[in-house]
Chains A and B, each alone.
Chain A
């Protein structure tokens, strides 16, 4: 296909406009000091930090793949819905306000200072880099995939365009530039998600609010019936793919992992006060929930619609539909008339099933299925790019700050001048963009496995020791280091053993995704016990813990 279709022209226009806006915002928010570069000068108002956090959090996978994933998992898809939202309650109540009062630049800053140990700081910095790097590779790939699907350039070209844009505003503006582009990216991605969802909800049920029509209409009921007729189990029946214990553990590991992810935690360093950190977490979750409560509705509607349209349909007739034609061309929708009767069949039995649906279609095809104009399809493309770029930028900043601030600034050259620190920060973020781009172009085959590892690691390392660091004054260096080693060691051993060496899930059948729960508890208990058996932390550390518990003075803490 040469020349551009109407949709491609719209997509190109939207991409140019939104990317132009991101570059402009990045340029307007360029910074001249490290406080601006790492924590946006601690001047981001709570509601905007909420938007930035939401964009930071919701990745290409949340935007493009999650609804599809749920529509194939049914009830059990709730692990992602609850798991990726419930962590914000933990953040808001247990971590964010106190870390804001602490008032430094990074998560390893807190770990290193609270546990008066360079070893703890380095371990924390390495964990932060590892977690962020595994994440960012997927984001860059996501940018490339969206480009290739909607604009028609190669994936690699897409990755390079994405790298150039992120590098521009991240190097110039650091956290400040990233924050304000994330605010813009949130607006783009949420409109791109909600407009098609409202349209399909109105089309199927007559009610445009997906949260209401999902609950009040009989679509899910009908879907349950269709599922039974086709030999599947009911869509809303719990624990079909996993045991209850596994669902419980995965949900908990994702929640605690979310609360322990460095790129999310640092967003709460950027607000002006402790009070702002609390409200900001509320806004963040509200903005996230707008998408996350829409996704399960979209999942059920799209599944109903696809099965209802395709099952028992005449193959020739189906192929006259515009959206079927375009998605069959991409290979994401496949028909194979196995019994040669010219009629499509969806069945549980692999030998009889004649329709293969890629899960990404659920979100990407909604505008076409709902019969919306080509510009809406283009908007979805811009939304997918916004989701991927905003998450990538936040992760890149964590990689840069871990290298430039925690390792270079604190350990290698603690006497470096402000100018030198800022320069190193910029160089490191550029370096991180290049590494991320490399992984985007040559993705390591184990990315999916490693994401489970990132959450497990965050759950088993950062969350317990930050929590105890604030709520238990008696927790000391020996306890924290023992806890981190046991937590990370056990979780790493289980995930690597299970995913790469075929080790059975011997721990009560808990899957690799959910084992972070056990790692987290192991860390908590061992940190607590070892701390009690060894000498209490020095008086000045105990005073510091006292001070982070009280909101007053956060603005002064920021001033030095």
Chain B
């Protein structure tokens, strides 16, 4: 197992990645889909107004993408810090 400062750094990098992804998560759902929904309703995505599209379609696509991005980035981070799991 690696030493303490390296583990602290690993955890810090993990938390930073989580913070960035959760910011996007909140922006598309609570931002575009709720708080700014009225403000952006003049903009159109396809034939739908943007607030409605983000609330009923777009946010869900982004949610799926965020999880896969996290899993992919953490694969890289785990290897960089040599804490990844052994292959079976």
Partner of A78, one of B22, B45, B56, B85: B56
Query: Is B60 a contact partner of A282 (Cβ separation < 8 A)?
Result: no
Q: Would you call A93 an interface residue if the criterion is a C-beta within 8 Å of the partner chain's C-beta atoms? A: yes
Query: Is B85 a contact partner of A93 (Cβ separation < 8 A)?
Result: no
CA distance A20 to B14 in the complex (A): 46
CB distance from B41 to the nearest CB of A (A): 8
Query: Is B49 a contact partner of A282 (Cβ separation < 8 A)?
Result: no
CB within 8 Å of A: which B1-35 residues: 1, 7, 10-11, 14-15, 18, 21-22, 25, 29-30, 33-35
CA distance A546 to B41 in the complex (A): 46
Which stretch from A190-198, A214-222, A225-233 is at the chain B interface? A214-222
Interface size, A (range): 35 or more
Which residues does chain B contribute within 8 Å of A334, judged by CB atoms? none
Query: Is A285 a contact partner of B52 (Cβ separation < 8 A)?
Result: no
Most buried by B among A218, A292, A550: A550
Query: Is B64 a contact partner of A285 (Cβ separation < 8 A)?
Result: yes
Query: Is A552 a contact partner of B85 (Cβ separation < 8 A)?
Result: yes
Query: Is B47 a contact partner of A217 (Cβ separation < 8 A)?
Result: yes
Which residues does chain B contribute within 8 Å of A92, judged by CB atoms? 67, 70-71
Query: Is B83 a contact partner of A75 (Cβ separation < 8 A)?
Result: no
Query: Is A251 a contact partner of B34 (Cβ separation < 8 A)?
Result: yes
Query: Is A78 a contact partner of B86 (Cβ separation < 8 A)?
Result: no
Q: Would you call A293 an interface residue if the criterion is a C-beta within 8 Å of the partner chain's C-beta atoms? A: yes
Query: Is B51 a contact partner of A93 (Cβ separation < 8 A)?
Result: no
Closest to B68 in A: A282
CA distance A77 to B56 in the complex (A): 8
Size of the chain B interface, CB-CB below 8 angstroms: 47
CB within 8 Å of B: which A247-278 residues: 247-248, 251-252, 272-275, 278
Query: Is B57 a contact partner of A293 (Cβ separation < 8 A)?
Result: yes
Partner of B60, one of A214, A216, A292: A292
Query: Is B47 a contact partner of A88 (Cβ separation < 8 A)?
Result: no
CA distance A289 to B63 in the complex (A): 9
Partner of A550, one of B37, B55, B59, B83: B83
Query: Is B11 a contact partner of A549 (Cβ separation < 8 A)?
Result: yes
CB distance from A386 to the nearest CB of B (A): 22
Closest to A255 in B: B29
Q: Indicate with 1 or 0, residue by residue over A105-134, a CB within 8 angstroms of chain B CB atoms.
A: 000000000000000000000000000000
Q: Indicate with 1 or 0, residue by residue over A184-228, a CB within 8 angstroms of chain B CB atoms.
A: 000000000000000000000000000100111110110000000
Query: Is A281 a contact partner of B67 (Cβ separation < 8 A)?
Result: yes
Query: Is A94 a contact partner of B60 (Cβ separation < 8 A)?
Result: no
Query: Is A279 a contact partner of B56 (Cβ separation < 8 A)?
Result: no
Partner of A279, one of B38, B48, B55, B71: B71
Query: Is B60 a contact partner of A215 (Cβ separation < 8 A)?
Result: no
Q: Would you call A554 an interface residue if the criterion is a C-beta within 8 Å of the partner chain's C-beta atoms? A: yes
CA distance A89 to B69 in the complex (A): 11
Query: Is A551 a contact partner of B83 (Cβ separation < 8 A)?
Result: yes
Query: Is B35 a contact partner of A244 (Cβ separation < 8 A)?
Result: yes
Query: Is A78 a contact partner of B55 (Cβ separation < 8 A)?
Result: yes
Query: Is A81 a contact partner of B84 (Cβ separation < 8 A)?
Result: no
Query: Is B60 a contact partner of A236 (Cβ separation < 8 A)?
Result: no
Q: Would you call A85 an interface residue if the criterion is a C-beta within 8 Å of the partner chain's C-beta atoms? A: yes
Most buried by B among A77, A238, A248, A275: A238
Q: Would you call A296 an interface residue if the criterion is a C-beta within 8 Å of the partner chain's C-beta atoms? A: yes
CA distance A551 to B53 in the complex (A): 37
CB distance from B44 to the nearest CB of A (A): 10
* 7 A-B pairs with the lowest CB-CB distances in the bound complex, closest first: A215-B46, A78-B55, A278-B71, A282-B67, A296-B56, A236-B52, A92-B67
B residues with a Cβ closer than 8 A to A are: 1, 7, 10-11, 14-15, 18, 21-22, 25, 29-30, 33-35, 37-38, 41, 45-49, 51-53, 55-57, 59-61, 63-64, 66-68, 70-71, 74-75, 78, 83-86, 88
A residues with a Cβ closer than 8 A to B are: 70, 75, 77-78, 81-82, 85-86, 88-89, 92-94, 97, 211, 214-218, 220-221, 236, 238-239, 244, 247-248, 251-252, 272-275, 278-279, 281-282, 285-286, 289, 292-293, 296, 471, 546, 549-555
